[in-house]
Amino acid sequence: MFIEKFDPLKDDMIQILDPSGKIVDTANMPALSEAKMIKMYQTMRESRIIDEKTLQYQRQGRMLTYAPNLGQEATQVGSASALRQTDWVAPSFRELGVWLTKGAPLDKIFLYWFGNEEGMKMSEDIRILPVSVPIASQLQHATGLAYAAKYRKLDDVAVGYVGDGGTSQGDFHEALNFAAVNALPNVFIIQNNQFAISTRRALQTKAPNLAAKALAYGMPGVIVDGNDIFAVYAVVSEAVERARRGEGPTLIECYTYRMGAHTTSDDPTVYREEMEVDPWRGKDPIDRMYKYLVAEGLWSEEQEDAFVRETADRVKQTFETVEKSGFTPLEDIFDYVYAERTPILEAQYQSRKAFYEKEGK
């Protein structure tokens, strides 16, 4: 168990699986079934394949702006794997691994990034709020989800994701403060990928690390190796169970690195050198788990090749189907502003429709 004894002012970092694929903290290795471990690995691998293919599609002019998750797969899949299905997630916009782990269908995810809100209409049991672009604002929603769960005597937990830049926002402070004051069943996960677009983590705060901010709210703060899926899973599991027991929120800083660009509109070569990025390739979260699974006899090169091939085909087919979906129907932009169209929206809809009909569109 980590949370009660962790002191973020000492600037330690919890690690279970080291970059070479060795378990360095056997005592705290989470008790995961083989099937679950393989599923977690496959989800990370799938996330990376989706990212790589989506970046290709974007360069080919077939996809809109996209925020890749490269390098952050363990933080995302590890944390979401610690949730049960009824737990809530309030994401920002770089959480593909969380969506996949929670069971969100890829065609919906693609449809959203392809430019259609219909993609965010998941089935209710996915329990992830839609992509939230205003930085850190979603953490406030996580507190309300948690308040409602507690009030309704449901033992669901609400997890909010934010980046290192997001910790500078007022909403980060307000959300953590409200959650702590009311002992809400929340877990706040910082994906510290070292960059807010181009701005480095050191320019966001003079605090020794981001987890230390928890102390001011009277909640535990923990730093975990965000590229170590076992450590992320173990710490988040503990925080989730703590929240479920009514012991209040936890702040977890997952220390990781954004291997790709902020989005496809960003060029990281402007603000960072390859020699800075390169050491992080040796800490890759997927390679690390691959080595572990192979050494344990749970996965093989043949299985890897087959999985990558099958997944790449499926991703390609899914995207090609989404690509044929065309434009958003006129009705869709009018029908979800309010529960019912207002008279003014109805008039505007009819006016647009009549114009299209007249023009033969």
The residues of the shown chain that bind another protein, judged by CB under 8 A, are 88, 90, 117-118, 120-122, 124, 129-134, 137, 139-149, 151-152, 158, 170-171, 174-175, 177-178, 181, 332, 335-339, 342-345
Shortest separation between residue 230's beta carbon and another protein, angstroms: 30
Q: Is 271 among the residues known to form the active site?
A: yes
Q: Is 314 among the residues known to form the active site?
A: no
Q: Which is nearer to another protein, 132 or 256 (CB)?
A: 132
Shortest separation between residue 108's beta carbon and another protein, angstroms: 10
Q: Which is nearer to another protein, 181 or 295 (CB)?
A: 181
- CA atoms of 141 and 145, how far apart (whole Å): 6
Tokens of 263: 């989005």
- CA atoms of 359 and 342, how far apart (whole Å): 26
CB atoms < 10 A from the CB of 7, how many? Answer: 13
Of 44, 90, 39, 89, the residue nearest 70 (C-alpha): 44
Q: Is 244 among the residues known to form the active site?
A: no
CB atoms < 10 A from the CB of 255, how many? Answer: 26
Shortest separation between residue 114's beta carbon and another protein, angstroms: 14
Q: Which is nearer to another protein, 158 or 251 (CB)?
A: 158
* Active-site hit among 127, 258, 288, 290: 258
133, 114 in Cβ contact below 8 A? Answer: no
319, 53 in Cβ contact below 8 A? Answer: yes
Q: Which is nearer to another protein, 53 or 108 (CB)?
A: 108
The b-or-e profile of 28-51 (16+ CB within 10 A means b, else e) is bebebeeeebbebbbbbbbbbbbb
* Active-site hit among 173, 244, 271, 349: 271
* Active-site hit among 262, 288, 290, 292: 262
Shortest separation between residue 293's beta carbon and another protein, angstroms: 36
* Residues annotated as part of the active site: 258, 262, 271
